[in-house]
Amino acid sequence: MKTHTTKRIYRVRCKSGLVGWRTRLRNNYTSFSEWESFSDMWGLCHRIGYGTAEGAWRANPVVEGSVNAGDFRRAL
């Protein structure tokens, strides 16, 4: 499995019309436990197409979002 480690963060126009960010999932969270707690609380792993928080963490997809919680989604 190929792992992606780029630390780039891009500015993007999100679905809500707000300017937000686009980056790899792991760049957005300090640890797996932080990601897991947010994912469990808000259903984020399901929103980006994964069955579990661990599966999403391992795949490290490109995600985007803004201050509007509804903008969080898988970008590519």
Which tens digits make up the pLDDT trace of 49-73? 999 999 999 999 999 999 999 999 9
Report residue 6 as tokens: 């780029």
Assessment of whether the complete model's pTM goes beyond 0.75: yes
Q: Classify residue 70 by burial, with Cβ atoms within 10 Å: 0-12, 13-18, 19+.
A: exposed
pLDDT at position 3 over 80: no
Q: Where residue 76 falls among pLDDT bands split at 50, 70, 90?
A: confident
Nearest alpha carbon to residue 27 among 73, 62, 2, 66: 62
- pLDDT tens digits, 25-40: 999 999 999 999 999 9
Nearest alpha carbon to residue 38 among 51, 49, 29: 29
pLDDT of residue 7: 82
Length of the chain: 76
